[in-house]
């Protein structure tokens, strides 16, 4: 039996001015049903974001990214989602929204370690 499992992931993108269509990748959400894992890793390149919109609400963006991490971690940090299973929390996070921090499309892959995969994807797609 293989020790690799299917996982899903989506990028978290900051879209400071939706009318311009520009965005900065700022995080990754990873879900692996077989491991009951949901996690978020974030990194905001403030210089890149400020180049797109010098008036962007940086504290608000950081708060939204922390909120996504909190929903993934569960417990008190997840707020109303605290009692939800990892899959439900992931689906809530990837639902389309019109806020400044938006999820990208969902992709899939195989991994033995979803937490390590989240770090790898953050390095590859965000940093």
Give the number of residues written for the chain: 127
Segment 47-89, tens digit of pLDDT:
999 999 999 999 999 999 999 999 888 777 767 777 788 998 9
Segment 5-53, tens digit of pLDDT:
999 999 999 999 888 889 999 999 999 999 999 999 999 999 999 999 9
> How many helices (H) does the chain have, and how many strands (E)?
4, 5
How buried is 96 (Cβ within 10 angstroms: 0-12 exposed, 13-18 middle, 19+ buried)?
exposed
Q: pTM surpassing 0.85?
A: yes
């Amino acid at each position: 039996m293989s020790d690799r499992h299917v996982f899903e992931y989506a990028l978290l993108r900051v879209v400071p001015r939706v009318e311009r269509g520009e965005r900065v990748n700022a995080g990754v959400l990873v879900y692996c049903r077989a491991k009951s894992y949901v996690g978020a890793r974030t990194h905001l390149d403030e210089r890149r974001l400020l180049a797109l919109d010098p008036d962007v609400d940086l504290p608000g963006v950081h708060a939204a990214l922390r909120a996504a991490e909190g929903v993934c971690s569960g417990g008190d940090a997840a707020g109303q989602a605290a009692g939800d299973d990892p899959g439900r929390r992931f689906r809530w996070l990837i639902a389309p929204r019109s806020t400044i921090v938006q999820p990208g499309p969902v992709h899939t892959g195989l991994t033995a370690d979803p937490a390590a995969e989240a770090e790898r994807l953050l390095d590859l797609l965000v940093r």
